[in-house]
Amino acid sequence: MHSPLSSFTIPLILLVQSYGVSAASWGYGYNDGPQTWKGDCQTGLRQTPIDIRTMDTDYALMDRVNFIGYDQVDEVTMQNNGHTVATAGFTEWKNPPYVSGGALQGKYFLQQFHLHWGKKDHEGSEHKIGGLSYPAELHLVHLKEGLTITEAMNKSDGLAVVGVFLNIAESGEPLAAMADKLDDVIYAGNETDIDRFRPRSLLPSVTDAFYRYEGSLTTPGCSEAVQWIVLAEPITITRKQLDQLRKIRNMEGEEHEKNFRPTFPLNGRRIRFRPAQYDRLRFCSSSYSLSFFITVLSTLLAKIIF
């Protein structure tokens, strides 16, 4: 297959090396954790993750997100980079997967995906919903068509990241292909190939409902170059698969206590929400139009009154 260098050039830049930040210079511990990260990580005003709360959210008329080429099956490479487990190789497929729609301007090609988790079930996801966390969160990282990674880092819409929450359940189908290989990447620097991988398996059955906001990477240097799409519907992970994730080792050879960043204030940003039931044809119907008009009017009145 492809060489590890070509597969992971972009993922490594995105995850462990932004503008001179080396893999070994940061982590999630007391001495090297998020509280010590420099630059935009400390001073940026559009940082990620955030706590998605009703009071900060507006209903928005956005198209669905189109996941093009996500049903393909091909080979990818999974690597433990010392901070997470990242899977890449999609850019070398004959028809690389990409996303469009969802208020994105253009096509964004899938570069890699990775996971965040914690040691306890009540924490692990980077984003929160009303102050509550899921036990893990998956990020699908996309690069805007026509841009280099350096160019993308300097644009507010250079990257599009799709966040997917993971909830503990009996079904482990979404992560099955990946879970079968997790034991091969326990230690930092380990990597392995997955012969047959279908990106669509990482998405919930319903992707119509999602949250949209402008934010940043959640790792150094926290570049504010990301259009975030956080899917409202989670996928499932089994207790066994979650235990496998929790055995992954960091740069020091220790199991991660956590590898998620704390949430940040919105600083004036608003979160847009597309409900699953929104449909242009239904919106044209009188009953749906009236219902939606009442919802919008109520939101506006609440803002004026309070």
CA distance 203 to 221: 28
Question: Among 84, 87, 114, 127, which one carries the catalytic annotation?
Answer: 114
CA distance 207 to 50: 20
Residue 122 annotated in active site: no
Q: Position 54: which residue type?
A: T
Question: Among 48, 77, 87, 126, which one carries the catalytic annotation?
Answer: 126
Under DSSP, is residue 51 helix (H, G, I), strand (E, B) or coil?
A: strand
CA distance 264 to 302: 25
Question: Among 48, 77, 87, 218, which one carries the catalytic annotation?
Answer: 218
Residue 218 annotated in active site: yes
Question: Among 48, 84, 116, 256, which one carries the catalytic annotation?
Answer: 116
CA distance 235 to 207: 11
Residue 139 annotated in active site: yes
Residue 299 annotated in active site: no
Question: Among 127, 139, 142, 256, which one carries the catalytic annotation?
Answer: 139
Question: Among 77, 83, 142, 224, which one carries the catalytic annotation?
Answer: 83
Residues in contact with 245: Cβ distance below 8 Å, sequence separation at least 6, in sequence order: 85, 115, 117, 136, 182
Instruction: Identify the sign of the CA torsion 252, 136, 46, 51.
Output: negative
CA distance 143 to 147: 7
CA angle (12, 18, 23) in 5-degree steps: 55
CA distance 129 to 135: 12
* Helical (H) or strand (E) element with 177: helix 176-179
Structure tokens at 19: 């503008």
Query: Active-site positions?
Result: 83, 114, 116, 126, 139, 218
